[in-house]
Amino acid sequence: MNSRLNPTASMDLKTWITARLETVEVALDQWVSFDASSDLRHRAPADLMAAMRYSVLDGGKRLRPLLVLAAYETVRAVLKDKPLNLDERGEPAACGAIDALEAGQIADDTALRAACAVELIHAYSLVHDDMPCMDNDVLRRGKPTVHVKFGEASALLAGDALQALAFELLTPDGTLIEPCQQARLCRLLARAAGCTGMAGGQAIDLASVGLRLTQSQLQEMHRLKTGALLQASVMMGTACVKTTPQINAGLQTYGAAVGLAFQVVDDILDVVADSSTLGKTAGKDADHDKPTYVSLMGLDGARAYAQSLHDQALQALADTGLANTRILQGLADMVVQRSN
Amino acid sequence: MNSRLNPTASMDLKTWITARLETVEVALDQWVSFDASSDLRHRAPADLMAAMRYSVLDGGKRLRPLLVLAAYETVRAVLKDKPLNLDERGEPAACGAIDALEAGQIADDTALRAACAVELIHAYSLVHDDMPCMDNDVLRRGKPTVHVKFGEASALLAGDALQALAFELLTPDGTLIEPCQQARLCRLLARAAGCTGMAGGQAIDLASVGLRLTQSQLQEMHRLKTGALLQASVMMGTACVKTTPQINAGLQTYGAAVGLAFQVVDDILDVVADSSTLGKTAGKDADHDKPTYVSLMGLDGARAYAQSLHDQALQALADTGLANTRILQGLADMVVQRSN
């Protein structure tokens, strides 16, 4: 097994997160780079790569990669215990089995690539979101946004290139990832990123400024805008090993609940936190007259709703029948309790 | 066999192009749509989809889809004649054979999806290229550009969503495309689109304004900016059926030569054609002080170079050993002789 993603059995959440964040940072630094030993055929133009690296290697929370790795490791742990007793229905017949024991290295690398690919999509969306024609934001994670630092044209191109790079990471040459896994991961990521996922949610957001949305309309917007990619993170981690329909369904529900909770808490923090804690401009939703969970439900209502989504997420984990889901539980706690 | 891509044996080039253009337009209209019967899980927000459709369904030349289909049909025709006598070295072992006769329908659908996916990447690049922070162009194919018609934010999002949709098209559920083909097509497309392909070339272009480039620097820029996606079109068509290393190598060289010839002719047309013929603003390279083949080699030099690239492309086709390459020959002629 790849030591980078091992072992988890005796780690507490904080130790696990610290170890995985380090793994993810090292991997992103390697894959978004000029490094001739990386998979990239040619060195990308220096200016473009500088803007891409600035966008990605900036100490984000890495919630999406953590969700990918947590889901992967949670399911893998079960497969290690009883690799032969699984119900494998629901898997496409053409998709060859990844045997967790024999092919642990491949599965670990696959999960790490999936984790980084999701983060690249997230990073590109932030770069484009911050541009003058969108949110026109000058501060992100306490630093000048990409277009402020590199110019608008470079920000536009860096975002575009990051999206493509996400799919490059998922489709390496040779046998680094089984072809059927490559296809499944690309499918999950493309749907979560596109017009019926993140980009679609942003378009609804754009069209909703100044409108009074119902809770279900707001929900639909956030399910696409933020929820789709967070849920896809969980599903991509799960897709790195063979699993059961029951586990799949439970983790899908978990991903949806955590994804929505994340946005509700985002709306709360936009009201109650200051810019230096957030690392971005606080209060901008109200300034832009954007509908939020707080404007719809009030602060207490939004807090209660976040808590109920958290409870839904934990229930979904229980429904998977998995024995040890504490890392995923811990990430759900973190999403609801976070202060930035 | 799927009648949409059949038969080619007795068609002349013009008839072939007309038939394939119709097939591609119908497919794009279906796949970039609200149509509930399409693969998309959810209906994309109306405003976003309108901008995406406006970008794509606008009567472009569809050179990239034509190259995909021409390469596919050229190679498929050989496989139909002697499906058992092929040297299959050079194919990943994990990649199950697509049998041209038995799986003709799958291969046809795969090629059509590949053709449309490449066009979506091309369409998104035009939308973003035209934006004020890039070329700031208001006219494209004789119509207002997307940001003029829908606003900058919608243009940005439509481009982003089109890139994701390209990868969605290549990764349908079920058995519409073999998983290993999905992975290969995603790999080819992601590399051609990203920082070491199209986006990388655009970044060099951006950084080169006002500079005097050598021919090899100009070549490198265009190899990435335009050439990578045109070459990928040929390779994606070829990847839809099993082939030989000799055929692969020949078509790769053909794709590179046609890709570069396209750009040389683009530079020539920017000088000699008027805006109404081009359907876009003529003379803008000189206005923006951009290095071009014409500024580097003069008009006659550029014309001679385009012709020599055309000859290279035809030689590469001869080197494949394929008996009938007249559609690909015809497309090479068309690229060099075009007037817009």
Half-sphere exposure of A332 (CA within 13 A, CB side): 28
Q: Provide mean pLDDT across the span A173-178.
A: 83
DSSP-based three-state secondary structure for B227:
helix
For testing the chain B interface, which of A43, A48, A205, A252 should be mutated: the one with the most B CBs within 10 Å?
Answer: A48
Chain B positions in Cβ-Cβ contact with residue A204 (cut-off 8 Å): 45
CA–chain centroid gap for A149, Å, is: 25
Largest CA distance in chain B: 56
CA distance A15 to chain B (A): 35
Model confidence over A196-217: pLDDT tens digits? Answer: 999 999 998 888 877 788 888 8
As a residue count, chain B comes to: 340
In B, minimum Cα distance to A44 occurs at B196
Residues 6+ apart with CB under 8 A from A192: A121, A198, A228, A229, A231, A232
Write the ipTM.
0.89
In the Cβ-directed half-sphere of B256, how many Cα atoms lie within 13 Å? Answer: 12
Q: Can you tell me the distance from the alpha carbon of A124 to that of A113, in angstroms, rounded to the nearest whole number?
A: 16
pLDDT of the residue at A236: 98
Question: Residue B255 has what pLDDT?
Answer: 98
Q: Which residues of chain B have pLDDT under 50?
A: 1-3, 7, 9, 36-42, 81-102
B144's enclosing H/E stretch is: strand B143-144
Higher pLDDT, A81 or A32: A32
* Res B6: pLDDT: 52
pLDDT of residue A97 exceeding 50 = no
pLDDT for A107: 76
Render pLDDT for A109-118 as a digit per residue (tens, 0 to 9): 999 999 999 9
* pLDDT at site A92: 33
**Rounded CA gap, B19 and A36, in Å?**
44
Both tokens assigned to A20: 């995985």
DSSP A208-228: HTT----HHHHHHHHIIIIIH
What is the predicted pLDDT for the residue at A197? 94
Instruction: Please name which of A116, A168, A169 lies closest in space to residue B190, comparing C-alpha atoms.
Output: A168
* Best to test chain B binding among A157, A198, A202, A222 (most B CBs inside 10 Å): A157
Q: pLDDT tens for residues A16-66?
A: 999 999 999 999 999 998 654 444 444 568 889 999 999 999 778 999 999
Determine the Cα–Cα distance for residues A169 and B216; give it in Å rounded to an integer: 29
pLDDT tens, A120-166?
A: 999 999 999 999 999 999 998 889 999 999 999 999 999 999 999 99
Q: Which residues constitute the domain of residue B298?
A: 3-337
Residue A14, judged by CB atoms within 10 A of its CB (0-12, 13-18, 19+), counts as exposed
**Mean pLDDT, rounded, for A328-332:** 97
Residues 6 or more apart in contact with residue B311 via CB below 8 angstroms: none
Residues of B whose CB is below 8 A from A190: 164-165, 167-168, 171
For residue A95, is pLDDT > 60? no
Distance CA A226, CA B245 (A): 44
Span B300-337, pLDDT tens digits: 999 999 999 999 999 999 999 998 999 999 999 999 99
pLDDT recorded at residue B148: 97
Q: Identify the residue among B35, B47, B48 best suited for mutation to test binding to A, counting A beta carbons within 10 A and taking the highest.
A: B48
State pTM to two decimals.
Answer: 0.89
For residue A11, pLDDT over 70 is answered with no
Mean pLDDT over A258-282 rounds to 82
Subunit contact A187:B171, Cβ cutoff 8 A: yes
Mean pLDDT for all residues in chain A: 85
Would you place residue A278 in the very low, low, confident or very high pLDDT band (cuts 50, 70, 90)?
Answer: low
Question: What CATH number is attached to the domain comprising B37?
Answer: 1.10.600.10
Confidence (pLDDT) at A98: 43
Non-local (6+) Cβ contacts of B208 within 8 A are B217, B221, B290, B291
Q: Which of A133, A157, A164 lies at the smallest CB-CB distance from B190?
A: A164
Residue A201 has what pLDDT? 93
Ranked by mean pLDDT, the top range of A172-181, A237-246, B111-120 is: B111-120
Q: In 3D, which of B112, B117, B118 has the Cα closest to residue B4?
A: B112
Smallest CA–CA distance, residue B59 to chain A, in Å, is 22
Number of structural domains found in chain B = 1
Query: Could you give the percent of chain A with pLDDT greater than 90?
Result: 63
What pLDDT score was predicted for residue B340?
73
Of B305, B202, B325, B324, nearest in space to B262 by CA? B305
